[in-house]
Structure 1
Amino acid sequence: MVSLQKVIFFLWLFAKVGVLPDDRLNAAVGGTMIFTTTMSPTEKPFSSVNWSFNVSTPIIIFVINAENIIGPEYEGRITFFPSTASLELRSLTLDDTGEYTVNAVHDGTLLNGRTTLVIHEKVSSVLVNSSSTDLVEFSGSVSLSCSASGPSLSFLWLNGSSEVTASDRVQLTDGGSSLTIITVTRFDQGPFRCRVSNPVSTVISDPVNLSINGPENMDLISSPPQGYFAVGSDISLTCSVGSRPPAHFKWFLNGDQLPDTGSELRLMDVQMSQSGNYSCQAFNTGKKVFSSFLTC
């Protein structure tokens, strides 16, 4: 009687190559992998099929004359598909990483295939930390760092739904896990998210929002639009500014603060004593900006 070892050696020696994918396969711990052969389903049974792991280890399953011999480590973890000689392996562990080989005889033809399976832990514990969340527009920088657990990690940053890419103001370092924005603007408020991937999973962090303070592009407009006015005129001065968060205003005449607040200053029935240089000051929690003076 021919021993099992001799049968396996015979199949290995004379088999043809190519019934399994050449590409490396990836799967997650606890998951399932189906090794699907390229053989077409057949009603005529295979004379013999042998699945092995890392060649020298005990068999996964050996099928001959419709009898199945399953390795003790694989009891309850596999399903064999006799029509294609494919194999399902369940409850994967890191120890299942390695090379898988199938040798089969069908209708007098010797067949074999070989592929590599790599088991990965899933990505977990994705967290973003910021060096600051309260910044001043045009005068501050911020660094965001992304940490995660798992092997073979790749990082991608999102600002809202848009991918963040490197530029003159944006630096991506430490394999993409660190993001630095130089000279922040109001458009850098986020929300920022870190997307971490490996071959078997993807996890996106909770959002981080930045508070970017500071008004800009100030303008002081008079109505009617002229620099000199007759005694008794009514004049409206409006201070406009782009600001996030919204700006507050103070008004000054010749450097002295007026009691008026708000973006508009109304001067009714003006007198000579009200002549001078008017200015407004816009401010918020981050920064103050003065407009140009207006002489009335």
Structure 2
Amino acid sequence: MSLKTDGLYGVLVCVLLTLLPQGSFCQLELTAAGPIQNSALVGDTVILAVSYSGATNPAIIWRKGPDPVVTWTINSNTPPDIPPSMSNVLRVNTNGSLMFVNLTLDYTSSYSLEMTKSGLGTATLNFTLTVYEMFENVTLSSQPDLAVEGSDHFTLQYVMARGVVQEATWLFKGTNIQSNSHYSVGPRSLVIQTPNRMDTGLYTLTLRNPYSSVTVHRTVTVLYGPDDPVLTLTPAKQFYVSGTSLRLSCKAVGLPPPTVKWMFAAVILNDTKEGVLNLTDVQTSQDGDYTCTVVNAQTNAMRQKNVTVKVYEKPKGSPVCSVRSLADVELQYECAWPGGTPEAVVSFPGLNNSSSAPGHLILNMSAADSLSGTPVSCTASHPVQPGMCNITASPPVPFLPSLEFGVNSEGKIRVTISCLSAAVPTSVVSWLRGTEAVNTGSVHSISPTQLTIQDYNISTFLLHNYTCFCRNPLGVQQRQIQLLAPTISDSSLLTNQEGTVVTLTWEVPPTSVVTGFDIQMQGPDLMPSNQNVGRSNSFRTIQQKPGSARSTDILTLDPEKRYKFRIIPKARLTEGEPSTVLRIGPAEGLSGSAIAGIAAGIPAGIILLLILIGLIYLLIYRNDDSEQARYPVTTDKGVKTKAELASNNIRMAAGLNNYNPDYNRLRKAPSEHSGSLPMFVPPPPVRVATTV
């Protein structure tokens, strides 16, 4: 039935009722069928019960606060309109009552029902619902953790895992606490303003709701102190002789009892509540102020007080003497014996009888020959024990400079010359370039004993001689350094037994400016692992070595091939003269010109061969026996063994640059020469010689 039809029906009913003898009046009435104010536990089922009269099938709207939560027409076939988020909790009975199933805390609110019927007006009814939980795990905490007398405030607050508070009561030592100038009671806390020691005691909190109650306690202790410490010294004396013992005591009052620290020279000596410090066998190192610090361990409040302990003792060790250069013209003698109580009086009686000082004396003297090599004594006078020390001044001694070469990060050649001469006092080093003083700049930099020269061009280093001077007030030593262009002064070669590895060694003059070496080779390429590129008849670089290198190994050589080696000294990009060429391998065969001459003489040789062939045959036949003795047959068929090659290599390493066989042995009768020409074949190189 539609709302319009229902409305007409309601009007007709009212009209009929007015015609009845009773004269009844038609009106929509809504009443509560249960309590208006309701409370429940989480998880309960609660019904906000209502009843109505004067209309049939009215429309209802339930609101939670201002928000509608249920809309429905009673007895309608259409289900109630309930938000999806509440559909698992809210239900509507057929009479319009609102049911809550499995309540949660967020349903605590005010609720209202609005019921309407067309033609009969609107009726409303209000309810309240409070949802409670049972109290669980209620605890009290404080902020800050410690209550300190004189602080701004101290707060007690409670937290709980579960529960809804209807009433909270605070007690101090059993007395109810109300908000006033000293206490402030808040929703979940109690604030104590400016706590003092009288606030120390037991605090109690009771929480209640219609379904449960809980009481928790917390004891608060208000901390105070410490007071000024009181110091005592036993035995009481103005000073103590080293080796004696004494006792220091420090006491103070506070809550909790303060911790006492004794400190000396910023070092903690002990840390106790008793505050007693025992010093046994005291020494001069223990002379000074001792500080007692009392600390409240919980509040960190602190007070300090000092006491001075005096310990007298002679200086430790022995006097120390020294001499240094002053303005390069005077000698400054120094004698020190510090420490002790009182300080020792030191003097140089051999230099000046009237000068003395406590603990430390400096005396300036003009440099004189009489002071060179002469011991000078310092005497130290002390009541307990005297002391003495000696110092001898000496001029610089002859020295040798040392040189170091390299290339800096900018690619400049760097030469570092070091000059150091032993002297007392230590000598001062200065430098000349030619006749001009050297100063630090773009090319030169000077340190106490070194001169560093930097430039891209090697000519900068070779233009001038450099001289270093080592001087002190008693004398001077100098050395001149003439820098040389890159030079190899000596070189040698050595092979292994198999002839596959060569070791090159070389030497460089001490003042030759060398920053690197190119190792060059002439001959066939090495094994592919060396990645060598070049022709066998020209020198090419196979290795590059730093300026500090003096040897290198060349691997993967073929012992049956000839090689030549040389070392090129370099100063950055400038190359010096190559070293002597070092050779290894079988001796060289006939030269190209010799082969050309032989080729040109072949036609004439053929004619001569035809004329003399008969004579040669006769001579060979007749002199067969003598030829066998003169020309012994070798068993190796012209091939040298590895041992012979190694022997040749050793001879090469020893500097045998040229080995020429004695061909005079082969000069025989003219008939022998003429007979051998037609049979001439150049002998294999290995059969003749091995040349280094």
- TM-score, normalisation: structure 1: 0.58
- Post-superposition shift, 1:99? 1.8
Cα contact 1:27–1:117 (8 A) shared by 2 = yes
Tell me, yes or no, if structure 1 residue 196 matches structure 2 residue 295: yes
Match of 1:50 among 160, 163, 169: 169
Match of 1:144 among 248, 261, 272: 248
- CA deviations 1:107-138 (Å, max 9, x no partner) are 85644432111123322223444456864574
- Post-superposition shift, 1:222? 8.0
Cα contact 2:247–2:278 (8 A) shared by 1 = yes
Give 1:104-119 correspondences, 5 Å limit. Answer: 104-105=207-208, 110-119=213-222
The SS at the match of 1:216 is coil
Give 1:234-249 correspondences, 5 Å limit. Answer: 239-243=335-339, 247-249=343-345
- CA deviations 1:72-123 (Å, max 9, x no partner) are xx743110111x2x10123434343222121113685644432111123322
What is the aligned partner in structure 2 of residue 80 from structure 1?
A: 185
Tell me, yes or no, if structure 1 residue 28 matches structure 2 residue 142: no
Given residue 53 of structure 1, which amino acid in structure 2 is its aligned partner? F
More helix by share: 2
- Post-superposition shift, 1:243? 0.9
Give 1:53-72 correspondences, 5 Å limit. Answer: 53-54=172-173, 57-60=174-177, 70=178
Q: Can you give the 5+ residue segments of structure 1 that lack an aligned partner in the other structure?
A: 1-13, 61-69, 167-171, 224-234, 270-277
The SS at the match of 2:337 is strand
1:266–1:81 CA distance, 2 compared to 1 (3 A): closer
Cα contact 1:189–1:210 (8 A) shared by 2 = yes
Tell me, yes or no, if structure 1 residue 157 matches structure 2 residue 262: yes
Cα contact 2:260–2:292 (8 A) shared by 1 = no
Cα contact 1:251–1:281 (8 A) shared by 2 = yes
- Post-superposition shift, 1:148? 2.0
Match of 1:178 among 272, 276, 289: 276
What is the aligned partner in structure 1 of residue 304 from structure 2?
A: 205
- Post-superposition shift, 1:145? 2.4
The SS at the match of 1:194 is strand
Measure, in 1, the Cα distance between the counterparts of 2:150 and 2:346: 65
What is the aligned partner in structure 1 of residue 225 from structure 2?
A: 122
- Post-superposition shift, 1:155? 1.5
What is the aligned length?
240
1:37–1:159 CA distance, 2 compared to 1 (3 A): farther
1:21–1:211 CA distance, 2 compared to 1 (3 A): same
1:184–1:16 CA distance, 2 compared to 1 (3 A): farther
1:150–1:217 CA distance, 2 compared to 1 (3 A): same
Match of 1:219 among 319, 332, 335: 319
Measure, in 2, the Cα distance between the counterparts of 1:163 and 1:87: 44
Match of 2:356 among 258, 261, 265: 261
Measure, in 2, the Cα distance between the counterparts of 1:30 and 1:96: 12
Cα contact 2:150–2:196 (8 A) shared by 1 = yes
- CA deviations 1:176-207 (Å, max 9, x no partner) are 41222322332552452413225335123144
1:246–1:261 CA distance, 2 compared to 1 (3 A): same
Cα contact 2:228–2:252 (8 A) shared by 1 = yes
1:34–1:139 CA distance, 2 compared to 1 (3 A): same
1:35–1:267 CA distance, 2 compared to 1 (3 A): closer
- Post-superposition shift, 1:216? 1.6
Identity across the alignment (%): 15
1:165–1:108 CA distance, 2 compared to 1 (3 A): farther
1:282–1:112 CA distance, 2 compared to 1 (3 A): farther
Cα contact 1:144–1:180 (8 A) shared by 2 = yes
Given residue 186 of structure 2, which amino acid in structure 1 is its aligned partner? F
Measure, in 2, the Cα distance between the counterparts of 1:107 and 1:199: 42
1:38–1:133 CA distance, 2 compared to 1 (3 A): farther
Cα contact 2:321–2:378 (8 A) shared by 1 = no
Measure, in 2, the Cα distance between the counterparts of 1:124 and 1:138: 34
Q: Which has the higher contact order (CA 8 A, sep 6+)?
A: 1
Given residue 47 of structure 1, which amino acid in structure 2 is its aligned partner? Q
1:293–1:121 CA distance, 2 compared to 1 (3 A): closer
